Amino acid sequence: MRRHELALLIVVIPALIPSVPMMQAVHAEEDKAMTLKLTSTAFEHEAEIPKIHTCQGQDVSPPLAWSGVPANAKSLVLIVDDPDAPDPAAPKMTWVHWVLYDIPSSATGLPQGVSPDELPAGTLQGVSDFKRTGYGGPCPPIGRHRYFHKLYALDVVLPNLKKPHKPDVEKAMKGHIVGQAVLIGTYQKGN
């Protein structure tokens, strides 16, 4: 190879390779586009949860929808809890309202008032602090509480944990979380 051909290659090849900052920007956009997002048509993030989804209403689960599940996710976990129990002015515990795991990664949401038979195939339920499976809506004894609807994407399908409690599911999913999203709703009992 002659010198001028080599010089031409040295000039042309870098021009054909995208710059590192440009590649990072593309990957950042891809990551942004694939960020796990959790929403509800019943309430906006940090807004009040409608009475129908509480103990003062019909106590039915709100409709939930998600998008941006990572490509390497094998299953999803949904945990709904209230860190303000029993009194937001002096919280003493986190009250667990709903635990679902092994939701198929292909699922895109849950309808309002979803029954066990309507859960996506393969979904398993954990036990809430109401000492039962299934959704238990907001029912704060005092003050306005926050309800965290937390969706986790996992790179595994968890084994059947035999009606686990939240800590059991959290322990099983440790080291396997590839994405997460949070939707917060609030509620305070009215007269």
Q: What's the DSSP call for residue 18?
A: P
Q: Average pLDDT, whole number, for the chain?
A: 88
- For the chain, list residues with pLDDT below 50: 4, 6-33
**pLDDT score at 38:** 98
Specify which residues 178 forms β-bridges with: none
Distance CA 61, CA 113 (A): 5
The backbone torsions φ and ψ at residue 125, rounded to the nearest 5 degrees and listed phi first, read -110, 145
Q: 63, 53 in Cβ contact below 8 A? A: no
Which has the closest alpha carbon to 169: 77, 36, 103, 69?
Answer: 77
pLDDT at 5: 52
**Most distant pair of Cα atoms in the chain: their distance:** 89
User: Phi and psi at residue 9, in whole multiples of 5°?
Assistant: -65, -40
pLDDT at 190: 84
pLDDT of amino acid 2: 56
Structure confidence by residue, pLDDT tens digits, 46-83: 999 999 999 999 999 999 999 999 999 999 999 999 99
Give pTM, 2 decimals. Answer: 0.83
